Amino acid sequence: MRALLAIAATLWAAPHAAAQQMLPPPYQGVYQPQGVDEIGLWREDDEAEKELAASPLVIRDEALTAYVKHVLCETVGDDRCNSVRVYIIREPTFNASMSPNGTMRVLSGLFLRVRNEAELGAVLGHEFGHFESRHTLQAFRSRRTGSDVLAWGALLAGMAPGYRTMRTYQDLQLSVYGSLFRHSRDQEREADRLGVAYLNRSALRPQAAGDMWQHVMAEAESSASVRGLKKPNFNAIAFTASHPPNGERAAYLTELAASDGDARDDGAARYREALATWMPVFLDDQIKLNDFGASDYLIQNLAQNGWTDTLWLARGNLYRTRGTQRDFIAAAQFYQNALALNPALGEAYRGLGLSLIKTARRTEGQAALKHYLQLSPDASDAAMIRLMLPEENSQ
């Protein structure tokens, strides 16, 4: 019985190991699915894309979508990116994905975690690397093979019940599951290598790929610190981890970046201009996640390219939302910083007024709120704000 289970494990491991040695195929234009597995996956993705196209979560801003597609093309080349359809989804988490049929999904939280076109290109290039290497198909086949092996193993173990047989079957389960997770991590490494290779051949700064993961780790540290949690170990690998450790990724991406690429443009100014309209919305979504440490880090990280009225306003809202007395004092200063850059920013007067009232500076706070109503007389909360103004109530 042990021999039969060992044979089953060998059948699982052989094709899996071979798949890890495969190199991504050369790009040959728009790929058409071949075989039952691929055709089935492509059909599922086509149906999923129809639902996605009608989803209310999709941000229907043609200019923003075109900009993201432009950065993708600048990263991987026009020949590769022309068949990609980009959908931007309003979801304040750090993620992007790409389906076998050419559908790229970008979550809005990504835009707060990259500071320039090069960092955005690193993420988009990574996802395109999965697509070009057809990793989804490989993962599907690996899972199917693994489940077949476990099914046969369970049948064989059931034919000779006993402690040693069941122990051997449990070992087989761990081997199969471990191989699946290891395979996933190897696919992520391959996509990382492709992503930085695309950047190396582009006009963008390839060192941005490693920089981005340094930001991700710093955000996690800030979040944990404010929550009073232990500092994360960015080099540990959990048994069920589907991705390599962030520390490992930052290290090898930095090493793989072309040494002569550090002087290239990273597109920070273009990125800020393209995201200007949506940045207040994305920052507000992030603040509502109630993760003060992460949000404060993200705001300050974006400000490395210079503070704007939008960033000062967001930081004021973040501190005022947490709501300690010292937070109200800090928030008032942040709102004043925003107004120094943009005196017509009504939202900053609103936040300033509410913060000053909370710190016993009621007269100053009411003056700020009055200014807010002058700038935004039709605001949705105008009636509530008027209740806080004595001259309004006496009329």
Residue 289, domain member (yes or no): no
Do 53 and 124 belong together in one domain? yes
Do 180 and 31 belong together in one domain? yes
Do 321 and 244 belong together in one domain? no
**Looking at residue 156, what is its pLDDT?**
54
Q: Which tens digits make up the pLDDT trace of 154-193?
A: 555 566 666 566 666 465 455 544 554 555 788 889 889 9
CA distances 180 to 5, 156, 168, 354, Å, are 18, 22, 19, 53
Residue 296, domain member (yes or no): no
Q: Which tens digits make up the pLDDT trace of 251-290?
A: 999 999 998 899 999 999 999 999 999 999 999 999 999 9
- Cα separation, 99 vs 45, whole angstroms: 7
- Final residue before a domain boundary, out of 261, 277, 298: 261
Do 146 and 16 belong together in one domain? yes
Do 255 and 312 belong together in one domain? no
Count of the separate structural domains present in the chain: 2
Residue 154, domain member (yes or no): yes
- Final residue before a domain boundary, out of 229, 261, 293: 261
Question: From the centroid of its chain, how far is CA 171?
Answer: 35
Burial class (CB in 10 A: 0-12, 13-18, 19+), 34: exposed
Residue 10 predicted with pLDDT over 70? no
Do 42 and 181 belong together in one domain? yes
Do 239 and 329 belong together in one domain? no
Q: For residue 88, list its beta bridge partners.
A: 106
- Cα separation, 198 vs 366, whole angstroms: 55
Burial class (CB in 10 A: 0-12, 13-18, 19+), 386: middle
CATH number for the domain spanning 371: value is: 1.25.40.10
Residue 231 predicted with pLDDT over 80? yes
Do 333 and 192 belong together in one domain? no
- Final residue before a domain boundary, out of 261, 280, 299: 261
- Cα separation, 350 vs 368, whole angstroms: 7
Residue 303, domain member (yes or no): no
Do 247 and 317 belong together in one domain? no
240: domain range?
A: 2-261
Q: Is the pTM of this model over 0.85?
A: no
Do 97 and 161 belong together in one domain? yes
Average pLDDT, whole number, for the chain?
84
Among candidate residues 370, 322, 330, the one with its CA nearest the CA of residue 349: 370
Reduced to 3 states (helix: H, G, I; strand: E, B; else coil), residue 85 is strand
